[in-house]
A and B are shown apart, each in its own frame.
Chain A
């Protein structure tokens, strides 16, 4: 079960509605949420490392998800953070989801995802080192 998560928007795109609505719902459900806003991938991973979170949530609506996630995953690997859960929300075409999972994303929540489903995911999610996780 995830208790502490860092939410961020990698890159320069500023559409914050999705990230904030999900952050608020997670907080209302009792999770500790650190909302970072816009940051570059290195700064996001650095903060996640410092804060010792169990999960990172990224919101991307700029169509740059493949490159941005590649950078985030790369930074996480360098910091030895393979055990931190990585979830992504935003305008992600369905056909990209398998590729993102191959890259190391644990779950993708596109627009219209039910908040209850996101919460349910974090309840059952475990760090990858413990056991593999399923999910959206």
Chain B
């Protein structure tokens, strides 16, 4: 909550009254606007029995140093009851660069794991049952086709049919051009083609794979509020849909079911619940009213939730355990399909085994002890929650109209409009903390001169760059380099002809072409993009 003068608002600045009653939801048609779980407009959840049928997937975003070390962490999480994997790549990999690239060394294996060939992907999933447990490949749109292709090749080599392969690629254009930039990427107007290639190819060849997970998590982490988060989420999805429809290759019902979403769980519990519910109703309306889609598999809004890293404090960091638990609660009350609970030490370092264990136990306690999973949409019908759900939806439609007025998502990205919106939001948020209208325990209230306790700090392996460089050098010696060159030429040919790049990219990764070699094709064709962040002032 925020307090400004006499006005009390939600975290997103929506004014809130002391009490809500029937009159606040009198405009709602209880059947049309609310309905039942598993029925249109899916406001109350996408399945009739929700968590009685299936618990949400515990999917911890993990990765550091080398694929060998990340394999150990994945095994640990699997043993502790993790039910999904999610790969955190380092910035080198997200940029589509190889570890031996000039200037890459200091970032190899630091913020995540370094992966540059199929061999690394094989190592990372050694002895892990990827036919039974799904993986989220958290790849930037620039590296998404090659990294997904590596995962597909890994599955095929293990005898898993791609039609049966379950998982997700992040592949969100906005996340990696406006939230966590990748400085070595091509301009968005070309990047979107790669994004949509993966969607198109997966819809036809790997229908259980989600080739994009629109990540409003990251838009929120960049300072936006709850309704802006939802609005940009759908503005982005619409951009992908329009791009694919313009190609005239697939009908919307053929690819809409594979789209998926990744939202934030911020501090304001009831506002977050309202946000998740509003998003479900909005997606249903977008599918049905805007695109005339009748397939329920496309109308239901499936989403992963990540607890909000930007709400963590560096000060008194064990308090973050409490923040994370409340945020997991919001995601559970909101009907999430999969949750990543952050770790309490993430404002300081990558998570240790200890902090990851606590995150997983936080989720399990919520699943089996809290009681919130026994009935679907337990807050449905609450005057306040139903009113706030409607309010978030109304404000989100308005903000979406502003994105469309700015020319749609890609234009708004290239012009710097989106970056300015982020900048304004993050500056306002900071000001609220400074002025004290937004309270942060340990930062602007209940501060302590000395940190009250010690805790272990994670240290990534400083030798990662040397190890990864040596492995790549050996692969370059051992592989059939003529075949690799031929494959790379095919990637270029397919891109130039406007064909889907995936068949040629899959062939290239199977020949052990590296991530950097494939992405260089596109860098060479389109040049690098200058992030408009520098034009903000």
Contact = CB atoms under 8 A, between A and B. Distances in A.
Contact of B434 (A17, A61, A115): A115
Interface string A56-74: 0000011110111001000
Interface string A32-49: 000111101000000000
Interface string B413-426: 00000000001001
B360 interface: no
Contacts of A10: 106
B181 A112 contact: no
A64 B110 contact: yes
Given A11-B91, A14-B180, A67 B104 contact: no
Nearest to B103: A40
B91 A112 contact: no
Interface residues of A, number: 37
B534 A37 contact: yes
Given A12-B182, A17-B310, A115 B315 contact: no
Interface string B174-207: 0010011111100000000000000000000000
Interface of A is mostly: mixed
A67 B105 contact: yes
A125 B523 CA distance: 43
The size bracket of the interface on B is 35 or more
Residue among A27, A68, A93, A110 with the most chain B CB within 10 A?
A93
Contacts of B103: 11-12, 40
A121 B457 CA distance: 27
A13 B103 CA distance: 12
B155 interface: no
B451 A94 contact: yes
Residue among A12, A25, A63 with the most chain B CB within 10 A?
A12
Interface in B80-118: 90-92, 94-95, 97, 103-107, 110-111
A112 B222 CA distance: 15
B533 interface: yes
Contacts of B443: 112
A76 B315 CA distance: 32
Interface string B443-471: 11000000100000100101000000000
Residue among A17, A67, A93 with the most chain B CB within 10 A?
A17
A96 B274 CA distance: 41
B347 interface: yes
Contacts of A112: 313-315, 347, 440, 442-443
B111 A63 contact: yes
Contacts of B107: 11-13, 62, 64
A128 interface: no
Contacts of A16: 181, 533
B183 A24 contact: no
Interface of A: 10-17, 20-21, 24-25, 27, 35-38, 40, 61-64, 66-68, 71, 91-95, 110-112, 114-116
